Amino acid sequence: MRILCTNDDGIHAPGLKVVEEIARALSDDVWIVAPELDQSGVSHSLSLNDPLRLREVGPRHFAVRGTPTDCVIMGARHILGETMPDLVLSGVNKGRNVAEDVVYSGTIAGALEGTILGIPSFALSQEFSMETRNAPLWETALKFGPALLRKVIDAGVPKNTVINVNFPACAPDDVAGVRVTRQGKRNLGFLRVDQRRDGRGNPYFWIGFERLAQADVPAEGTDLAALAARYVSVTPMRLDRTDDEFSQALTATLK
């Protein structure tokens, strides 16, 4: 099995070494194609107006000055030659990708691009807490990742579905189990705009995050609820975003 690994945290991110180790538990034919620089939050952007610079950093390890989407395309369509990968793994992201995160996440986008190319694809993310922010518990992803991937692959990933996996912020022995979940929704009050001034006194801005005084209780069955209960969250997500229910109502309205 040929596996293509990417991420959005960049070619030197520790989580990329983790996903490579997970991939090597499944196969010895592993290729790494990751962004040269941190591309967190770039979503499913594709570089059309800027050239892509490719750099080989080691055997079967390549850095692309572009987005995770660019990396998967470069890997599958150029670097690997005529033999397409059998599996795309994107991650392991430092931080969870749940709820509305999936819209912004470059990690999710890398897996989505693999799915668009017809390749079974997984996005892998390791949640961290305030206590483990500077030292995420990668061993949790390492312990549960390979066996979980094997089971999902054996079950057969549908052609237009990407699998979003999030590991909880706890030691492996404290993980309660694995849950198949749906995408959750949370209070977006955590987003903030931070205004500052440069050396000349001109304003500039950071979009950032802040810790809520009281977080909403996540709905049962969601990715948020699973992580809160220390379960590994596995969320199948479809490429087709059509709202079938509203489409029916709209059809009746527009007749």
Tell me the two tokens of residue 66. Answer: 């572009």
| Among the listed residues 59, 56, 61, the one whose alpha carbon sits nearest the alpha carbon of residue 33 | 61
Tell me the two tokens of residue 34. Answer: 């990751």
For residue 192, the cross-strand partners are: 208
- Binding site for a divalent metal cation: which residues? 8-9, 40, 93
The three-class DSSP label of residue 180 is strand
Helix (H) or strand (E) holding 83: none
**What is the Cα–Cα distance from 223 to 41, expressed in whole angstroms?**
19
Helical residues (DSSP H) of 180-222, grouped into ranges: none
| Among the listed residues 185, 161, 35, 16, the one whose alpha carbon sits nearest the alpha carbon of residue 100 | 185
20 and 138 Cβ atoms separated by less than 8 Å: no
Side chain identity at residue 56, one-letter code: E
Beta strands at 121-126 and 191-197: parallel, antiparallel or unpaired: unpaired
Beta strands at 61-64 and 54-58: parallel, antiparallel or unpaired: antiparallel
How far is the CA of 234 from the CAs of 24, 194, 199, 219, 248, in angstroms? 21, 34, 46, 16, 30
- Binding site: which residues? 8-9, 40, 93
